Amino acid sequence: MGLSVTPLLVGAMPDEPIPGTCTDLTFLMYVITGGPHPIVVDTATYDAVTVAGRKHGVLVRPPAQEPAAALAAAGVDPADVRQVVLTHLHWDHCGNNDLFPNAEFVVQREELRYAIAPGAGDDRLFYDMLGLGAPVWLAQIERIAAVDGEARVAEGVRVVPLPGHTPGSQGIVVDTGRGRALIAGDTVPTYHHWRERIPNAVHYDLAVYEQTLRRMEALDCHVIPSHDPRVIAEGPFG
């Protein structure tokens, strides 16, 4: 049997992911099961009060969508998680790292370099809208496992660099029972972005981004977006 990828819905807020459209920006976490220990990909945004206080917007998160509750419903005890893979270090992808006391956090080294001192305008994404306070991932700095490029995470699970949205964005290739799946992070926010090969409106380097999209095509995986509500209806994968 192969591994399985289960998406977890952990909140939403109004957004305009594609110019001229308005939809709910869905926040997702992913759990990879079938190995010795569950592996979590991204930990989503922090709580609604903090989101509002840092001027990110209005987060809607019913009790069942609280990260701890969503993990419990999937049969995952956060204490059993030994590895958390972060696709990148924007605030809405690493806001609940503190749920996993026994995990190491797998991040591209280039992402760490940039996130420490991001360029003008990017600080609101790595820190917060007001540019106040330490980034949320800094509390786990001693448990971060920095990798350079492609790396094996576990049997059937590897990270691949997907720069463009951020300098150190990465995806996670999983050998599932139904073939290879790629958790693409914000390189692919929605299925529409992937189908039309549209870069995320938030990007660091568009030329590099285009190269990344071509590299993703060569991987020949089922691509799983980061913020598309249809992911919930279609999962689990594997």
**The amino acid at 158:** R
* Three-state secondary structure string covering 63-92: HHHCHHHHHHHCCCCHHHCCEEECCCCCHH
pLDDT tens, residue by residue, 25-77: 899 999 999 999 999 999 999 887 777 666 567 888 999 999 999 999 999 99
pLDDT tens, residue by residue, 80-102: 999 999 999 998 999 999 999 99
For the entire predicted model, the pTM comes to 0.92
| Contact in structure between 59 and 13 (CB atoms under 8 Å) | yes
Q: Pairing state of beta strands 104-108 and 83-85?
A: parallel
78 to each of 55, 67, 71, 211, how far by Cα in Å?
A: 29, 10, 7, 36
Please check whether the domain covering 4-234 is classified as CATH 3.60.15.10.
yes
